[in-house]
Structure 1
Amino acid sequence: MAFAQQNITTGANPGTDPIRVMVVDDAVVIRGLLTRWLDSDPGLSVVGSHRNGKLAVDDIEKSNPDVVVLDIEMPEMDGMTALPLMLAKKRDLVVIMASTLTRRNAEISLKALSLGAADYVPKPESTSEVTTSVDFRRELIDKVKALGIRARRMRGPGRTMRAATNAGRTVSQAPVGRLANTREPLRMAQGGTGAAAAPAAAFKLRPYAAVKPRILAIGSSTGGPQALQQVMKDIGTAIQDVPVVITQHMPPTFTAILAEHVGKAAMRPAKEGAHGDVLQPGNIYVAPGGKHMILEKEAGAVKICLTDGEPVNFCKPAVDPLFDSVAKIYGSATLGLILTGMGHDGAAGVKTIAAGGGSVLTQDEATSVVWGMPGAAANTGMCSDVLPLPEIGPKVARVLKGNAR
């Protein structure tokens, strides 16, 4: 497992019913195991368990789950076929894709995000590895709880849980994975615990650095792949004069695919960072899953260094080590960005960048899939802006060109 998300120990909010979960997997042993894990948490209740997508789609309206854990490869109807059918029946449904760590499944999982899935969980290769993986169990439960709580809060009291017609569709009925461009309040706070956050106007902000940035460093997690692609597309040609380094919480194989997608969105060269790579302006480097990526300066050149140390903030790769190393080398010429994600990884790095005179932007609550990482960053009081996703790319482009207004 590349990383373990921060453990969320809270159950459903007091006075509310447990989050309703459906498990869809053709392997009876895995299906039973996931059901027992989820049911053992007091904040969760498994209301359906099916061996293929067709049975699950047919049961959506009856079982009425908040969250579906959906396998990709199944007989009769696979996960990708079932996904749009599920969302058509219940538009506020949270779907978390589950797949083993193959390149094909990584591609399918990332495609599923663009089609409305909220997130994914990478499964270990074998049944024996699944049964013994503490990290997989923790990540599964944490994501189901965080995204389930978030979806319920977005729905709000009195809102319909059934599918709406296209003519009558509201923002609250959109799939969780497609809400990155809305301004609906999410109320998912630091670490995914559900504490309410202050509106952007209430945050203490600091001025942008007077010097022009010479690097862009980005940290993201849950919801990050889609957010990264939009931001990099919106920045456009402004990154041609600076290198971009990214830590996205992802396992091996997934990060290589992500780099390809981000590169296409930005129309710039992009790759997983490799040990010894010399940073080049206009190039994008994504931290490989299972390794921390930091920067080192040697003989006037800035190089990538991959380390195999312990997880930081329960994550590997982690944002804080990257941000710390960037600030050490670039100082006030650092521009940092924290996007949607669970936990608080990156908050310490934001403080380090600010202490060195650099600048940081973070995504606002309304457009984050989970407002853990960006919420923690915003609450440091060290950011220069807290912005909705559609405004981040254009703002970063202006700052990189020396115009922070």
Structure 2
Amino acid sequence: MASDPSSTAVGSPASDPIRVMLVDDSAVVRGLVTRILEAEPGIQIAASVGNGQMAISALERSDIDVIILDIEMPVMDGMTALPKLLQVDPGVKIIMQSTLTLKGADISMRAMQMGAADYIPKPTATRDLAGGIEFKAELVGKIKALGQARRRDPKRPIRPGGAPPASRPIANPVPKVQIHPAGPLQLRTHAAEAPDIIAIGSSTGGPQALFAVLGIMRAGTVSQPIVITQHMPATFTTILAEHISRVSGWEAREGQDGEVVRNGRVYIAPGDFHMVIETKGPDKVLRLNKNPPENFCRPSVDPMLRSVAAAYGKRVLTCILTGMGSDGLKGGQAVVASGGTVIAQDEATSVVWGMPGAVATAGICSAVLPLPEIAPWIIKLAARR
């Protein structure tokens, strides 16, 4: 899945580029990735090391924004190094390099639960590094999005090689949040109608947010079906569903084409498929398709939201969680046009405030909330059923 690099531009790259550390025991991979990134304005390779122990030492003496961390390395592997790196600098953004296998997906999911910001498929010399446009776009897009989020962190430490705070411009200042006229739930003068379905969209940082939100929702009184589009490739969505079931207690699985939507279940859009809902007689059924990517993504949040708006009308509650880009904006507008409700995660608790920021600043959200407040808000509305 390629990301849109243009949606994550950074300001004044010459004076203060995003500083990246590469951690991989393969000198060949580090060299090829270095050449990719050094060709990008606004990105600088600040360190390149061969194992986790060297990465910790480099982070202690260097100003680093984003770390690309391989999982399997000698001396100290990526999973051992991850918590140690975050102990040195809790705000540094770490992208795990993972193989597109069940094992790699499972390790990546555990890494994100431990604090990694995102993952990227481990490159191969024959496919990705030898001119792979999709790999380059995804890598650069994630580095720029996470680097920009890092620059907004007021607690970011200054180490040798880093620019002083005054010279750290942040591009594209975020417009003011505009709350939809319906207002937050607690401020409404008339009771909102409870939803018949809950639709969630997420991307970078999404798995961590999903685990938190769904765990609290399961302990509440939510019985509606939940459909989720998380930007992930095939295999990774399989593991995501397993982790959601294990962490939250929901019955979560990848959606299957033609499956009837049932209460009390969580359906994840499978990697490389858009997941939508159609009305078939008295039932609502899932449909999977390989229509062209939207917002550079498949699965994409927008087609899912358009379909739930068409199938359920005003009885839709949509939540847009952390993620880069603006996927979910057009679908969220369709939900609101049908009388449904949209809420979003706030900037302070988002890994990247791209997707939730897009809907929050478009004026279609009834609430923009910190992550810990999202599940209680949903529970309150869902309980009005």
Q: TM-score, normalised by structure 2?
A: 0.90
Shift of residue 240, structure 1, vs aligned partner: 4.9
Q: Is the 8 A contact 1:122 1:251 kept in 2?
A: no
Residue 118 of structure 1: CA displacement?
1.5
Distance 2:43 2:211 in 1: 32
2:175 equivalent in structure 1 = 197
**Identical-pair percentage:** 47
Q: In 2, Cα distance between the equivalents of 1:334 and 1:393? A: 16
3-state SS of paired residue (1:245): strand
Whether the aligned pair in 2 keeps the contact of 1:290 and 1:308 (CA below 8 Å) is yes
Match of 1:34 in 2: 33
Task: For 1:238-387, list aligned pairs within 5 A.
Answer: 238=220, 240-387=222-369
Distance (Å, rounded) in 2 between the aligned partners of 1:367 and 1:224: 11
Alpha-carbon deviation of 1:106?
Answer: 1.0
Specify the SS of the correspondent of 1:332.
coil
Which position in structure 2 is the counterpart of 1:160? 157
The answer on 1:5 being equivalent to 2:3 is yes
In structure 2, the CA distance between the partners of 1:239 and 1:300, relative to structure 1 (3 Å rule), is farther
- More displaced 10-residue stretch of structure 1: 96-105 or 52-61: 52-61
Q: 1:29 to 1:232 in 2, by over 3 A?
A: same
Q: Could you tell me how far apart the structure 2 residues matched to 1:237 and 1:112 are?
A: 25
Alignment partner of 1:84 is 2:83: yes
Unaligned runs of 5+ in 1: 163-186
Deviates more, 1:261-270 or 1:251-260: 261-270
- What one-letter code is carried by the residue in structure 1 that aligns with 2:376? P
Distance 2:263 2:280 in 1: 17
Letter aligned with residue 298 of structure 1: K
**CA, structure 1 residues 99+240, in 2 after alignment: closer, same or farther (shift >3 Å)?**
same
Question: Residue type matched to 1:203 in 2?
Answer: I
Match of 2:66 in 1: 67
Deviation at 1:237, TM superposition (A): 4.8
Contact kept, 8 Å, 1:240 with 1:281, in 2: the verdict is no
1:359 deviates by 0.9
Q: Structure 1: how far apart are the matches of 2:289 and 2:371?
A: 31
C-alpha separation in 2, matches of 1:277 and 1:294: 11
What is the alpha-carbon distance in structure 1 between the residues aligned to residue 249 and residue 45 of structure 2? 43
Q: CA deviation at 1:349?
A: 0.6
Shift of 1:394: 0.4
Q: Does 1:96 align with 2:78?
A: no
SS for the counterpart of 2:126 is helix
Distance 1:387 1:220 in 2: 15
Between the two proteins, the alignment pairs up a number of residues equal to 368
Where does residue 162 of structure 2 map in the other structure? none
Q: Aligned to 2:260, what secondary structure does the other structure show? A: coil
Deviation at 1:330, TM superposition (A): 0.3
Match status 1:206 vs 2:182: yes
Query: As a proportion of its length, which structure holds more helix?
Result: 1
CA distances 1:193-222 after superposition (whole Å, capped 9, x unpaired): 643232x4x534425784221100000011
For 2:215, the equivalent position in structure 1 comes to 233
1:134-145 correspondence runs (5 A): 134-145=133-144
| Deviation per residue, 1:18-67 (Å, 9 max, x gap) | 11111111222221111111111120110211222222222222333221
Q: Cα distance 1:382–1:312, how it changes in 2: closer, same or farther (>3 A)?
A: same
Distance in 2 (CA, whole Å) between partners of 1:204 and 1:246 is 23
Judge conservation of contact 1:236–1:397 (CA < 8 Å) in 2. no
Q: Could you give the per-residue CA deviations for residues 105-145 of structure 1, whole angstroms, max 9, x where no partner exists?
A: 11111111122211111235x32112232111111111111
Give yes or no for contact 1:12–1:19 (8 Å, CA) kept in 2. no
Which secondary structure does the structure 2 equivalent of 1:155 belong to?
coil
CA deviation profile, 1:241-286 (whole Å, cap 9, x unmatched): 3110000001111111111222233312110111111111000000
Which residue does the alignment assign to 2:128? 130
CA distance in 1: counterparts of 2:91 and 2:113, whole angstroms:
15
| Structure 1 residues 349 and 31, CA gap change in structure 2 (3 angstroms) | same
- Report the equivalent of 2:375: 393
Please provide the CA RMSD for this pair: 2.1
Check conservation: 2:5, 2:137, Cα contact below 8 A.
Answer: yes
Counterpart for residue 51 of structure 2: 52
Deviates more, 1:231-240 or 1:394-403: 231-240
Give secondary structure in 1 for the equivalent of 2:109.
helix
Distance 1:16 1:292, change over 3 A: same
Q: Report deviation, 1:307.
A: 0.4
Contact 1:97 1:117 in 2 (8 A): yes
Instruction: Between 386-395 and 109-118, report the one with greater CA deviation.
Output: 109-118
